[in-house]
Amino acid sequence: MTAPALELADIFRIHGPAYLEAFGPSLSAGQKKALSDIAICRTAALGGHVEQCDRCGHRTIAYCSCRNRHCPKCQSAARAAWLEQRAAELLPVEYFHVVFTLPQMIAPVALQNQRIVYGLLFRAAAETLTEIAADPKHLGARIGFLAVLHTWGQNLHHHPHLHCVVPGGGFAPDRSRWIACRRQFLLPVKVLSRLFRAKFAHYLRRAFEHAELSFHGQLQPLGQKYNFVSWLNRIVQSEWVVYAKPPFGGPHQVLKYLARYTHRVAIANQRLVALQDGHVSFHWKDYTHAGQPAVMTLQATEFIRRFLLHVLPRGFVKIRHFGFLANRGRDDHLRLCRTLLATSALNVPDGAVTGQAQPNPPDHCPLCNEGRMRPVEILLPQAALRVRPCIPSAVAALEGDTS
């Protein structure tokens, strides 16, 4: 695949130092680290090694990756390894996609209390799905699912929501049979929405009562109980968005979906269009106009600010498993599911994870296509090449090159 003409790293290298100088005191350590790591990813600043083909002698330089989970260049390898593990867990049933979205009024509070509020989002959504599915009026089964946190919309604004991928059924409470959902219907969306709203509001109120929430700037008045309760009461009077998309179909289709969603960052390099005159242009879908494709242009500082909104707290787990797919007991539960479904583990062919033909091995020589690339020299990190302020003329020249 051809590398994009413009990368997020280019924007961070050129405009990151000025952004840090202007807004550094307000940034978290994680945001500063993401800004620095992405800027120097796969450059001489991190070091690397020289590889040489053992057949034709062709040489290339391979620089080290930053391994930051917010870096678009570092997610492909992590995604492939993760998907290989998930392939062994798939069941021969329909899979459904359910999205739980927090109201926009909660987003500012979530931004100031990421670890608490995002954790409550996972908890409320998971309990909602599990309880409604276990109710005999709906499915009456124990289900399993995975949930992926996304905090962004197409325009990079803060938009916390949870993508849940759910097999279409579960096992009976007495573990005696598999209970399948109705074709192309998992659970009633309105029931999910109202229980999710009630659970999240309950847990958020409890977090406030236990003094686990903090409020700064314009949100400072919410630190008073009367204001917080009034604010929360207004929110729960509205309908909350829970969206159930049509089912994927079989397990191989869900792998293709997971490849797109699980290790996604706020914006991929492929969406970047231009960096020119201190402005960044990128592709986006305007959902206020039926998802029409468009190009948005922002000042570089505003673009960086929006991207950094989506840097998660250190150690926060953004992909979680629940029900019979929870880490504890997952292997035993999957064996039970397959027994009840009278099937064995799926044989997922090479390339099914990405929906493409299996590529050449990573050490395959790109020139002769026969030899193998072997490391022959170590390149030490070049500290002098790390991010540093750029003089205006250099910035202009770089922007011209990447537009």
Provide the residue range defining the domain that includes 171: 86-270+317-340
Residue 7 contacts residue 272 (beta carbons within 8 Å): yes
Q: Is a pLDDT exceeding 80 seen at residue 232?
A: yes
Q: Is a pLDDT exceeding 70 seen at residue 388?
A: no
Residue 380 lies in a domain: no
Q: Is a pLDDT exceeding 80 seen at residue 62?
A: yes
Look up residue 261 and give its amino acid: Y
∠ CA 275-313-19, nearest 5°, is 30
User: What is the rounded average pLDDT of the residues 164-175?
Assistant: 94
Kindly give the pairing relationship between strand 158-167 and strand 178-180.
Answer: unpaired
Tokens describing residue 383: 């500290």
Mean of per-residue pLDDT scores for the chain: 87
Residue 54 lies in a domain: no
Q: Is a pLDDT exceeding 90 seen at residue 240?
A: yes
Residue 1 lies in a domain: no
Residue 23 lies in a domain: no
Residue 165 lies in a domain: yes
| Number of domains the chain is built from | 1
Residues of the chain with pLDDT > 70, as a percent, come to: 88
User: What is the rounded average pLDDT of the residues 195-200?
Assistant: 98
* Residue 278, CA distances (Å) to 55, 155, 299 in order: 46, 18, 6
Euclidean distance between CA atoms 255 and 278, whole angstroms = 39
pTM of the shown model: 0.86
Residue 379 lies in a domain: no
Residue 250 contacts residue 106 (beta carbons within 8 Å): no
Comparing CA positions, the residue from 303, 277, 309 lying closest to residue 403 is 277
Residue 113 lies in a domain: yes
Look up residue 400 and give its amino acid: G
For the chain, how far is it from start to end, CA to CA, in angstroms? 20
Euclidean distance between CA atoms 386 and 363, whole angstroms = 28
Residue 235 lies in a domain: yes
**pLDDT confidence bin for 401, thresholds 50/70/90:** very low
**pLDDT confidence bin for 129, thresholds 50/70/90:** very high
